[in-house]
Amino acid sequence: MEYVIETTAVSKIYGKKSAVNKVSMHVRRGDIYGLIGRNGAGKTTLMKLILGLVRANEGSIRLFGSNNLDEGRKKVGSLVEIPGLYKDATAYENLSRFSLLFGTPQEEIQPLLEFVGLGDTGKKKAGAFSLGMKQRLGIAVALLGNPEILILDEPTNGLDPAGIKEIRDIIIELKNKGVTFVVSSHLLDELGKVATTYGIMNNGVLVEEISAEELRAKCRKSIKIVVDDVEKAKAVLTERHPEIHLETAEGSLKIFSDVDDLSEENKALVQEDVRVYEIVTTNESFEEFFIEKVGQEQ
């Protein structure tokens, strides 16, 4: 498999602290790679390493299957931390200045502004934009030159639900045009829903890299049954469903297979003198999976 971004045991050490610790990440073309981790997990530093904004202490990075990072980075757009916009300039003027700086064609500007929903902001200065508008302008800057990869550091941070949706829609539309994304988030927010692969970071370490599909399978549906006699309940249920996948805990058991009619199970248990106090159907959420990987917040 060829990856458009591949890091191999890459590390960045500040003083004695490994901000990024031997991270091997794999981004496939067309991915929306969700880089998830709490404050200080190392997300921004990893992005800066990929972009060449900081130097790695060890490890290697490949872009588009090549070690020629200068070439590769020409095809990578980014919005990392606060976009450095010209506050006293309009949206158009901002893009125009960055376009000159990057040497990209001016004809791109108006279509880009319209694409991010800033086509009619006219004379309004970027300094007077809402946070969501600033983020969208920042994304437009990142899109100059038609990059194949976009690296966005917490693009929805601080936005309201409507603002988050706007950013998410932009990402989906670009993905459909073939753009690959690395998007970070410390919250398991709306953005999480569009990712195709997750990289979960904790304390500088990439603790898990998992496709959305695998994750969905892991966060499968389960049925928790609270009873007075777990062993007996287990025997009854296993007798009825030999193929059942079941886990027991103190005072309850969990079934992971689909059982059509829960009232039938309830009846069978009661007939065998098992007291059923509660039956709850749950989906382990991504949030729970995440906490399992990185621990509770201190």
* 186 binds, options Mg ion, ligand ATP, none, Cβ within 5 to 8 A by partner type: ligand ATP
Out of 2, 14, 84, 130, name the contact with ligand ATP by CB under 6 A. 14
In this structure, the dihedral spanned by the alpha carbons of residues 163, 102, 173 and 89, taken in order and rounded to 10 degrees, is: 30
Find the shortest distance in angstroms from Cβ 291 to Mg ion: 20
Task: Count residues near ligand ATP (CB under 6 A).
Answer: 12
**CB neighbour list of residue 287: distance below 8 Å, 6 or more residues apart:** 188
Least Å from the CB of residue 37 to Mg ion:
9
- Residue 48 or 234 with smaller CB distance to ligand ATP: 48
Q: Nearer Cβ to Mg ion, position 43 or 168?
A: 43
Residue span binding ligand ATP (CB under 6 A) among the ranges 32-40, 86-94, 174-182, 252-260:
32-40
Where residue 55 falls (left for φ over 0; alpha for ψ -120 to 50; beta otherwise) is: beta
Q: Interface with ligand ATP by CB under 6 A: which range of 12-20, 140-148, 188-196, 289-297? A: 12-20
Is residue 39 near ligand ATP by the rule CB under 6 A? yes
Q: Which is nearer to ligand ATP, 27 or 269 (CB)?
A: 27
CB 201 to ligand ATP: min, Å: 6
Q: Is 298 in the site for ligand ATP (CB under 6 A)?
A: no
Q: Could you tell me which of 77, 81, 31 has the C-alpha nearest to residue 181?
A: 31
Q: Is 158 in the site for ligand ATP (CB under 6 A)?
A: no
Q: Give yes or no for residue 18 binding Mg ion (CB under 5 A).
A: no
Sole residue written with tokens 């437009």: 140
38, 86 contact by CB (below 8 A): no
44 binds Mg ion (CB under 5 A): yes
CA distance 116 to 182: 18
User: 43 vs 134, which CB is nearer to Mg ion?
Assistant: 43
Among residues 283, 287, 282, 285, the alpha carbon closest in space to that of 188 is found at 287
**DSSP-based helix, strand, coil % in the chain, nearest 5:** 35, 30, 35
Rounded-to-integer distance, Cα 79 and Cα 172, Å:
17
Query: Is the CB of 5 or the CB of 151 nearer to Mg ion?
Result: 151
Q: Which helix (H) or strand (E) holds 123?
A: none
- Rounded Cα gap, residues 34 and 6, in angstroms: 15
For residues 164 to 193, the per-residue mask of contacts with ligand ATP, x marking binding by CB under 6 A and - elsewhere, is: ----------------------x-------
Q: Which letter, b or e, does each residue of 117-134 get, where b requires 16 or more Cβ atoms within 10 Å of its Cβ?
A: ebeebeeebbeebeebbb
Task: Indicate which of ligand ATP, Mg ion, none lies near residue 220 (CB less than 5 to 8 Å, by partner kind).
Answer: none
Per the document, the length of the chain is 298
Q: Which is nearer to ligand ATP, 17 or 275 (CB)?
A: 17
What is the DSSP-derived secondary structure letter of residue 117?
T
Q: Which stretch binds ligand ATP (CB under 6 A): 13-21, 124-132, 167-175, 256-264?
A: 13-21
Where along the sequence are the contacts to ligand ATP (CB under 6 A)? Answer: 14, 17, 19, 37, 39-45, 186
